[in-house]
Chains A and B, each alone.
Chain A
Amino acid sequence: MKNDFVHLQAAHCENGVTTNLLRKAGADKLTEPLSFGIGSGLFFIYIPFLKVNKGPAIAFRTMPGHIFKRTAKSLGISIHRETFRSKEKAEQRLDECIEAGLAVGCQVGVYYLTYFPKEYRFHFNAHNLIIYGREGDEYLVSDPVMESVTTLTKFDLTRVRFAKGAMSPKGQLYYPKENKIVTDEQIREGIKSGIRRNVRDMLHIPGPIAGVSGIVYTANRIRKWRDKLGLKDAGLYLAQLVRMQEEIGTGGGGFRYIYGAFLQEAYAYLPQDELLDISKKFTKSGDLWRNAAVHAAGIYKGRLTTQQDFDLMADQMMAIAALEKDAFQDLKKIKWRS
């Protein structure tokens, strides 16, 4: 019951699952940066009033599930996605897929994900992995953030598929419905529409909390954190920002680098020099995000304590917002020659 499955490690779980499943469905030239770019993965949002693990709710990426959906659609591969009320049905359906030799993407919660180190097990429900086979009670798992494959027992797998709380997976599984030949022309069109959609998401979403203006909004909130929350909680909030930014599965600084890589790979399909120049801006932005994280660490480790230090953190984010605004405006201006 094991198909000829090749594990693929990725920087981000949904990119990895998307790339691997769509490659098998015929998009054999797909890479992680291409999936991320075609799926318009780059984003920023700060959701006020919502708390995650008692800290601010910040995301550096688009909504879970969107990268897979958009990339598959752009490449003309239709997908099947299903959620379940009953655990038995969810188990049965997964077994049927495996019997049929399919590799199946699953959304899971990480709290009871037994192979994760305890330190990483929070109630986060938008992790993605691939089940590619079964041996007795053990399911064969390809988790894209890991270097190699692993296994989960039936009990453990069902438990993570039915994790509860925000974004609960409800046993969700998904896979490409068909095998297709994906042409370079389709990839070219996918790149262009992916960039267009990402420009829209970063520059033109109304309201102050999302896209480039969301970064400015967050910076202005940070200025007030020290007075409003006290030094200890302000430090915890900044630590949460850095974890959302740099941890696997959410890596915001890392996402800027992946987007830079995407633009370089896009150049191979659409040789226009602007892409390479704009790629450099995203590399720079990733660097600035990392510098900001180092500065934040100074605060949450208790080395930096003054209001000036919080202002400096905010200023760094304002610079990032300006740079990303500039980069996306450049992307918007590109006149495609092919």
Chain B
Amino acid sequence: MEKDKIPQDDGALNKLTREVCYAVDESGNYTTALSTGWEVKAAALGLAWDDIQQRIKDAHDKVVRKEASPVLFFMEWRLMDVPILASYTGFWQWTVKRHLKYDVFQKLSDKKLQKYAEAFDISVNDLKTMNVHEE
């Protein structure tokens, strides 16, 4: 890539910093320059986030229909999957999967609920009521 072809599009990272790119100058020697972002990248990231929002919404609807527990909703909301959530809570993966069921969740002890609340960085009450405070 030539230095003057380094894209200077808008991107989410732009709010924080520009990023270093390696590129060649007119005489073919490598040099570095800063880029504000690349539209191709921004579109890929945007698509990933659209998918996440959709998954969060689907999870929300499932919980409302009592087909899943709020653990599923907050797991999607925190961009986690079962292995990550198991790692944060210290539960086995199969235990977490059980807790994703609506009926099982209703019978969980306060101690277990507290572990989930900590993993999601929310209160137990918010966990039970699926209440979200946007950060």
Contacts and interface: CB of A to CB of B under 8 A. Distances in A.
B20 interface: yes
Interface residues of B: mostly helix, strand, loop or mixed?
mixed
Given A11-B22, A115-B16, A257 B44 contact: no
Contacts of A145: 17, 19-20
Given A165-B84, A246-B38, A248-B13, A239 B48 contact: yes
B41 A247 contact: yes
Given A111-B79, A123-B79, A123-B80, A242 B19 contact: no
A117 interface: yes
B65 interface: no
Interface stretch (A126-134, A180-188, A222-230, A286-294): A286-294
Contacts of A165: 80, 83-84, 87-88
A162 to B, nearest CB: 10
Given A147-B34, A257-B30, A116 B43 contact: no
B104 interface: no
B43 A257 contact: no
B134 to A, nearest CB: 10
A168 B79 contact: no
A40 B20 CA distance: 20
B40 A293 contact: yes
A248 B48 CA distance: 16
A278 to B, nearest CB: 13
B100 to A, nearest CB: 16
Interface in B24-38: 24, 28-30, 32, 34, 38
A166 interface: yes
B12 interface: yes
A111 B80 CA distance: 10
Given A9-B20, A168-B87, A246 B41 contact: yes
B108 interface: no
A294 B13 contact: no
A243 B44 contact: yes
B58 interface: no
A11 B44 contact: no
| A interface bracket (residues with beta carbon within 8 Å of B) | 35 or more
Contacts of B21: 11, 254, 257
Contacts, number: 120
A257 B22 contact: yes
A8 B79 CA distance: 31
A297 B34 contact: no
Nearest to B11: A119
B64 interface: no
Given A117-B13, A119-B49, A146-B16, A164 B87 contact: yes
B44 A164 contact: no
Q: Which of A121, A246, A265 has the most CB of B within 10 A?
A: A246
Nearest to A143: B17
Interface in A223-272: 235-236, 239-240, 242-243, 246-248, 254, 257-258, 260-261, 264-265
Interface in B80-95: 80-81, 83-84, 87-88
A243 B41 contact: yes
Contact of B1 (A33, A120, A290): A290
A283 B1 contact: yes
A123 B85 CA distance: 11
Given A53-B48, A119-B12, A301 B43 contact: yes
B112 interface: no
24 contacts: A111-B79, A115-B16, A117-B12, A117-B16, A123-B80, A145-B20, A146-B17, A147-B17, A148-B17, A164-B84, A165-B88, A236-B48, A239-B43, A239-B48, A243-B44, A246-B38, A246-B41, A254-B22, A260-B24, A261-B22, A264-B29, A296-B44, A297-B40, A301-B43
Interface of B: 1, 12-13, 15-24, 28-30, 32, 34, 38-41, 43-45, 47-49, 51, 78-81, 83-84, 87-88, 135
